[in-house]
Amino acid sequence: MKQDFRMTYPLWNMAFILILAVMAVGFTSSFVNVTKTDSSLSIQAQALEGFLLFAALIAYLVLITIYLIALSSYNRKNPDKKISPFSMRPPEYMEQDEGMTFITRKAVQKVYTFITWTLPFFALIVMLFPIPRLFIVWGILAVAFGQNLIYYLEMRRQLKGATE
């Protein structure tokens, strides 16, 4: 089960979210000017923000390359349970039988409970306080990170308990 790509899928999501959080510093900074015309998009940024944006873009490209290599390797080794990177349905759902469906449902219930509380709470905070755009983006990414973390830890806990 440890080799199952679906098990580690939330960790990939979390890594992508962390890079997006760094990228957000560059994109949401007031020192960054984005000019869009019909035929081009030019981005002007100050030194630090520009560096963070550039570094995050490079990191994102590197990670997505590693991810695609790992995914195609998994798909080659597991032709009967291939994962599509373009699937709308989260690939981390493990539903190969009723026992796995049961633990997936338990993990998803925990995530749902987390989202049910955090999103309205976050919306309220944003309404009440003049929060900078960067912090709002970070808040949304923190919720996304949290949901993946909760799902991963719950699945790991359940599967750890299923030792022979």
Partner 1 sequence: MLSNRVKELRARYGFTQSELGKQVDVTRQTIAFIEKGEFSPSITLALKLAKVLKVEVGDLFWLEEE
Give contact residues for partner 1 (rule: CB under 8 A).
1, 96-100, 102-103, 159, 161-164
Minimum distance between the CB of residue 161 and partner 1, rounded to whole angstroms? 7
Toward partner 1, which CB reaches closer, 38 or 164?
A: 164
**What's the closest the beta carbon of residue 109 comes to partner 1, in angstroms?**
15
Give the sign of the dihedral formed by CA 148, CA 95, CA 86, CA 123. negative
| Shorter beta-carbon distance to partner 1: residue 80 or 164 | 164
Residue 83 CB, shortest distance to partner 1, in Å, is 17
Looking up tokens 């633990």 gives 103
Helical H runs in the chain? 5-28, 47-77, 98-128, 133-160
Tell me if 6 sits within 8 A of 148, measured CB to CB: no
Q: Which is nearer to partner 1, 17 or 100 (CB)?
A: 100
Residues in a beta bridge with 111: none
